[in-house]
Amino acid sequence: MASYLARRTGYMLLILTISSVVIFYALRTAPGGPSGGGVLNPLSSQEIRQAYDKRMGLDQPVYTQYFIYLGHIVRGDLGTSLANGTPIVELLGTHARNSLVLGLTALLISYVIAIPLGVLAAVKRNTWVDQLAMGGAILGMGIPNFWLALILVYFFSLRLGWLPSAGCCDPPQLILPALVLAAEGTAVTMRMTRSSMLEHLHDDFVRALRAKGLPEWQVILRHVLRNALIPVISLTGLRLGWLVGYALIVETIFRWPGVGYLLVDSVLRRDYPVAQVFSLLLIVFVLLANWFADIAYGLANPRIRVA
Amino acid sequence: MSGSELALEVKDLRTTLFLREGRVDVVRGVSFQLKQGETLALVGESGCGKTMTALSIMRLLPDPPARVTHGQVLLAGADVSRMPEHQMRSLRGETVSIVFQEPLTSLDPVFTIGDQIVEAITSHRKLQRGEAREMAVEILKEVQIPSPGQRLKDYPHQLSGGMRQRVMIAMALVLDPKVLIADEPTTALDVTIQAQILDLIRTEQEQRRLAVLLITHNLPVVSQVADRVAVMYAGEVVEEAPASEIFSDPRHPYTQGLLSSIPSAAGDHKHLYTIPGRVPDPRVLPPACLFAPRCPYALRRCWQEHPELEATVSAGHADTSTQPDRHLLRCWNPQPFTALQAIEPQEVDRRIATSE
Ligand SMILES: Nc1ncnc2c1ncn2[C@@H]1O[C@H](COP(=O)(O)OP(=O)(O)OP(=O)(O)O)[C@@H](O)[C@H]1O
Ligand SMILES: [Mg+2]
């Protein structure tokens, strides 16, 4: 176990180091820069820009900048935003919390919808219930995020006026972005629950459970579902990873001040320190999510857990 | 014999598969009776409908495609054929239990042995979990599982095949049913373990006066444990008799063929008898004896008329057609048993070809 942890941690540090170099380099080779209109007034003179770059150390070669930056990071200094001088630690707190709220809500919505419907579709296989659920799933997987967002905003905000179209952080403002973020995951989870249920509905042990005189609901909901959820649970880890990608889009569309929103904003403004920290944060999150997927699979499946 | 003593009675059971190609009767007119404390062995080649018969009794047929289309099943006198499902459910495990061939896949892999036994109990009896656990420990002890308290916490994959089958038997017996159906309970196990499991079934049967329906295609197993034997062929019972008679005086050529293909009975290991030909295609059954194409003694009549299952007078016995040890036979031309010689298969094939 200890060696497993050490290996995992080493692997993560390696990935982080490589990605930090790539991100650092990519940001700095992108046209413009903090002084080129991102942070400074785009109309400021050449002298002002040069002075700014010199003050910020942006006139140094990229590798020198990288090692200076690394020195700060190692000492635990994440820096401040170039745009408004806010310490990045502070930004991390609020934005990470907002993203977590949004992400967890989306995850919850998708499981609450997907698992019961997946079970129902499997049990009522080839009936209209099944076809409706699966039709919905295909729609949910096929429709692009931003398009769904536009449709929902059009109906629920503009037409019906029931929900705000953007903003943070009241429950009504959470609903639309969470729904959009949940859509694809719901569809994928529902299909997976259904097919996994169908696979286990014909297992030998199901007949043996019925032979013990168990009520049918107990056979389905306690036993078949529990077996069918193993792949669904391990999919959660991967889904957390996907959510990161979608969060960039959804948070930007709904102006939800989460990690994704801030990352997109900081990249556009060439706010280097913020962009660096937040992109690395997302990478750490994806790595942890994949790790979690492994662990969850083991927890859900006693055959792996004990072995 | 008094009717109340019967634990299980199957009357003219027909089970049909509704397939895309059409209807196929896989169990055709099967009848038998099973008294308390008695073991009836149901033997026959793979695919002859033994499992379908068992599942019909339990009303656990895979539907679709299979359904009982005729006949009755009486469990301890009660007709289960038309019972509502909830009532049938309360009989499963309580009055009739079944042990399947493959103990690993018959247990839910993600629940512990303890959970699975406890749930079998609590789905029938209003008991506290603790009381049910005590029952579980007791029954595991009874089927000779060492340190039963520990085993309750194990998952199925942590036990050996023999232990798992003991668990299955324990689970089947925990509510003290009247009838135990064992569908090839030892086929998936090592030979040494097989004997232990059979011993266990035998012991439990004697203690509990269980009626046991033992399904197998292993005749040596039958000789060890069965009181009576029903031989099935292509969905029909072709011979039924006390076990001793089946072995000493088999009348049906198919039964004789089965016995001749046991190494010890044939005596000659090099030329072991194999019944020529294959089981007929159940979709196109002729109005004839179904075994005729494979039978060494087939007459013209065998190809033209379907024989019924009838009481026969066996050698050295009085007419016993109404007695419990009656000998039933479905054959137009029974012959005395001499272990069949290893007939060259080609020869029989030629005979089949000419007679068709
Ligand atoms: N789900 C099914 N669909 C189609 N045919 C089936 C199905 N289940 C069983 N059968 C057919 O029904 C017939 C009887 O099968 P059954 O399982 O009762 O045989 P068995 O005597 O138990 O054989 P074995 O010794 O192999 O267990 C076989 O011909 C089999 O091919
Ligand atoms: Mg079978």
Does A214 contact B97 at a Cβ distance shorter than 8 Å?
no
User: Ligand 2 center to residue B46 CA distance, Å?
Assistant: 7
Q: Is pTM, for the whole model, over 0.90?
A: no
Looking at per-residue pLDDT, the higher value among A163 and B114 belongs to B114
Number of Cβ within 10 Å of residue B50's Cβ equals 24
Does B110 contact A230 at a Cβ distance shorter than 8 Å?
yes
Residue of chain A whose alpha carbon sits nearest to that of B56: A211
* Ligand nearest, relative to CA of residue B50: 1
Residue of chain B whose alpha carbon sits nearest to that of A229: B110
The predicted model gives A114-138 an average pLDDT of 92
CATH superfamily of B3-226: P-loop containing nucleotide triphosphate hydrolases (3.40.50.300)
Does A215 contact B123 at a Cβ distance shorter than 8 Å?
yes
Check whether B316 has a pLDDT greater than 50: yes
Give tens-digit pLDDT for A72-98: 888 888 888 888 888 888 888 899 999
Helix axes B129-142, B161-173, angle to 10 degrees: 120
Binding site membership of B252 for ligand 1 (Cβ less than 6 Å): no
CATH number at residue A122: 1.10.3720.10
Q: Which pLDDT band holds residue B345 (cuts at 50, 70, 90)? A: very low
Nearest CA-CA distance, residue B90 and chain A, Å: 6
Residue of chain A whose alpha carbon sits nearest to that of B122: A214
Binding site membership of B26 for ligand 1 (Cβ less than 6 Å): yes
Tokens (6 digits) for A217: 């609901």
**Within an 8 Å CB–CB cutoff, is residue A196 touching chain B?**
no
What's the domain count of chain A? Answer: 2
User: Ligand 2 center to residue B19 CA distance, Å?
Assistant: 19
At A73 the three-state DSSP class reads helix
Binding site membership of B62 for ligand 1 (Cβ less than 6 Å): yes
Check whether A307 has a pLDDT greater than 70: no
Partnered with residue B68 across adjacent β-strands are: B15
- Residues with CB in 5 Å of ion ligand 2: B 51
Nearest CA-CA distance, residue B122 and chain A, Å: 9
Q: Which residues contact A27 (CB under 8 A, 6 or more apart)?
A: A267, A270, A272, A275, A276
Are residues A31 and A135 located together in one domain of the fold?
Answer: no
Partnered with residue B213 across adjacent β-strands are: B40, B181
Using CB atoms, which residue from B123, B158, B168 is nearest to A213? B123
Binding site membership of B46 for ligand 1 (Cβ less than 6 Å): yes
Are residues A130 and A243 located together in one domain of the fold?
Answer: yes
**Within an 8 Å CB–CB cutoff, is residue A221 touching chain B?**
no
Assess contact for B233 and B280: CB atoms under 8 A.
Answer: no
Partnered with residue B99 across adjacent β-strands are: B182
Are residues A40 and A127 located together in one domain of the fold?
Answer: no
- Whole-complex ipTM: 0.85
Are residues A166 and A241 located together in one domain of the fold?
Answer: yes
The answer to the question of residue A283 being in a domain is no
**Within an 8 Å CB–CB cutoff, is residue A302 touching chain B?**
yes
Does A205 contact B109 at a Cβ distance shorter than 8 Å?
yes
Chain centroid to Cα A302, Å, comes to: 28
Are residues A113 and A212 located together in one domain of the fold?
Answer: yes
Are residues A163 and A215 located together in one domain of the fold?
Answer: yes
Are residues A162 and A232 located together in one domain of the fold?
Answer: yes
The answer to the question of residue A87 being in a domain is no
Are residues A243 and A161 located together in one domain of the fold?
Answer: yes
Binding site membership of B92 for ligand 1 (Cβ less than 6 Å): no
Give the helix, strand, coil percentages of chain B, each rounded to 5: 35, 20, 45
The predicted model gives B141-158 an average pLDDT of 91
Assess contact for A58 and A34: CB atoms under 8 A.
Answer: yes
Does B123 contact A207 at a Cβ distance shorter than 8 Å?
no
Give tens-digit pLDDT for B13-51: 999 999 888 888 899 999 999 999 999 999 988 888 999
Are residues A37 and A126 located together in one domain of the fold?
Answer: no
Q: Which of A139-153, A254-268, B267-281 has the lowest mean pLDDT?
A: B267-281
Does B110 contact A218 at a Cβ distance shorter than 8 Å?
no
Give tens-digit pLDDT for B151-204: 999 999 999 888 999 999 999 999 999 999 999 888 888 888 888 888 899 999
Are residues A254 and A292 located together in one domain of the fold?
Answer: yes
Does B60 contact A207 at a Cβ distance shorter than 8 Å?
yes
Give the nearest ligand 1 atom to B19 CA.
4
The predicted model gives A296-304 an average pLDDT of 76
Residue of chain B whose alpha carbon sits nearest to that of A208: B106
**E-assigned strand segments in chain B:** 6-19, 22-35, 39-43, 66-75, 78-79, 96-99, 179-183, 211-216, 228-233, 236-242, 310-312, 327-329
Looking at per-residue pLDDT, the higher value among B264 and A40 belongs to A40
Q: Which pLDDT value is given to residue B182?
A: 93
Check whether B106 has a pLDDT greater than 80: yes
Q: Which pLDDT value is given to residue B314?
A: 55
Q: Which pLDDT value is given to residue B95?
A: 92
Mutational pocket test of ligand 1: of B23, B24, B25, B26, the residue with most ligand atoms within 8 Å of the beta carbon: B26
The predicted model gives A197-216 an average pLDDT of 93
* Of the candidates B77, B55, B327, B54, the residue with the CA atom closest to the CA atom of residue B214: B54
Tokens (6 digits) for B279: 């089981």
Dihedral of CA atoms A69, A72, A78, A79 in degrees, nearest 10, equals -80
**Within an 8 Å CB–CB cutoff, is residue B89 touching chain A?**
yes
Binding site membership of B20 for ligand 1 (Cβ less than 6 Å): no
**Within an 8 Å CB–CB cutoff, is residue A227 touching chain B?**
yes
Are residues A24 and A123 located together in one domain of the fold?
Answer: no
CA distances from A8 to A15, A97, A116, A240, A292 (A): 11, 26, 35, 18, 12
The predicted model gives A226-244 an average pLDDT of 85
Are residues A105 and A237 located together in one domain of the fold?
Answer: yes
What are the extents of the domains in chain B? 3-226, 250-355
Does A211 contact B97 at a Cβ distance shorter than 8 Å?
yes
Residues of A in contact with B102 (CB under 8 A): 204
As a whole number of angstroms, the distance between CA A16 and CA A20 comes to 6
User: Ligand 1 center to residue B63 CA distance, Å?
Assistant: 13
Q: Where are the alpha helices (DSSP H) in chain A?
A: 2-29, 46-56, 62-74, 88-123, 128-142, 145-152, 171-201, 204-211, 216-218, 225-253, 259-268, 272-300, 302-306
As a whole number of angstroms, the distance between CA A198 and CA A125 comes to 9
The predicted model gives A281-302 an average pLDDT of 82
Domain-ending residue, one of A45, A74, A103:
A74
| Residue nearest atom 26 of ligand 1, based on CA coordinates | B46
Whether cis (ω within 30° of 0) applies to the bond prior to B65 is yes
Domain-ending residue, one of A32, A47, A74:
A74
The answer to the question of residue A126 being in a domain is yes
Q: Which pLDDT band holds residue B347 (cuts at 50, 70, 90)? A: very low
Using CB atoms, which residue from A218, A223, A303 is nearest to B157? A303
* Structure-token match 């990935």, residue found: A15
Binding site membership of B61 for ligand 1 (Cβ less than 6 Å): no
Does B123 contact A227 at a Cβ distance shorter than 8 Å?
no
- b/e per residue A108-131 (b: at least 16 CB within 10 A): ebbbebbbebbbbbbbeeeeeebe
| Residue nearest atom 17 of ligand 1, based on CA coordinates | B51
Binding site membership of B49 for ligand 1 (Cβ less than 6 Å): yes
Give tens-digit pLDDT for A28-52: 888 878 877 677 777 788 888 888 8
Residue of chain B whose alpha carbon sits nearest to that of A302: B110
Domain-ending residue, one of A74, A109, A143:
A74
At A49 the three-state DSSP class reads helix
Does B106 contact A204 at a Cβ distance shorter than 8 Å?
yes
Q: For residue A136, what are the domain limits? A: 92-269+288-306
Binding site membership of B217 for ligand 1 (Cβ less than 6 Å): yes
Q: Which pLDDT value is given to residue B13?
A: 93
Does A214 contact B111 at a Cβ distance shorter than 8 Å?
no
Q: Say which amino acid occupies A117.
A: L
**Within an 8 Å CB–CB cutoff, is residue A12 touching chain B?**
no
As a whole number of angstroms, the distance between CA A302 and CA A291 comes to 18
Check whether B286 has a pLDDT greater than 80: no
As a whole number of angstroms, the distance between CA B260 and CA B341 comes to 8
